[in-house]
Amino acid sequence: MGPSSLSAQLPGTHTMRQNILDTIDRAQDHLLIVGYMLNSEEVFQRVVSKCSTVRVQVHLDRRQTRGDGHASRMANDLAKAGAEVKLHDAFEGSMHAKVIVADEHEAIVGSANFTHSGSHRNLEAGIRLRGPSVAVLRNAMLSMFEQMEA
């Protein structure tokens, strides 16, 4: 949950920021990130650190990413670091999903964009998934992207 200053005080909850970072850290083979935009320096650095050892796939909204200087630079730098970065605009709405999948073992699905506000300041909610449903989520997301590109 977020904002971090409040959720850290609630029994049984974890901060959105820490959940995002922990899930990225747990990826050992594959890391899938789907979001509206990524412009959080902290999240960006954590993802870049995975690029040399993990297959990193990042799917973002083209309009939002290109409209923000930090997000645009981060998308380019992620690609240079070895991530497979795809910016989407092939559908009516926007890329509004916020999903991180580490391997097929753990995922975060929530309302937080991968921005400083999304991980620190905004009122956000998310859920961490573990178990067989994570593989279903990952495969469904990748299948949707394949269909969009066909």
Q: Which of 13-17, 67-71, 132-136 has the lowest mean pLDDT?
A: 13-17
Return the pLDDT at 13.
65
The number of domains in the chain is 1
pTM for this prediction: 0.90
Which band of pLDDT confidence, cut at 50, 70 and 90, is reported for residue 69? very high
Return the pLDDT at 9.
72
Return the pLDDT at 95.
77
H or E element in which residue 62 lies: helix 62-66
C-alpha 58/C-alpha 40 separation (Å) is: 14
Return the pLDDT at 26.
96
Find where tokens 């730098």 sit.
77
* Cβ atoms of 124 and 35 closer than 8 Å: no
Which band of pLDDT confidence, cut at 50, 70 and 90, is reported for residue 1? low
Residue 90 has pLDDT above 80, yes or no: no
The predicted-structure confidence for 130-150, as pLDDT tens digits, reads as follows: 999 999 999 999 998 888 876
Q: Domain of 121: which CATH number?
A: 3.30.870.10
Domain that holds residue 64: 4-149
H or E element in which residue 142 lies: helix 132-149
Label the pairing between strands 55-61 and 30-35: parallel
The larger pLDDT score, comparing residue 145 to residue 14, is at 145
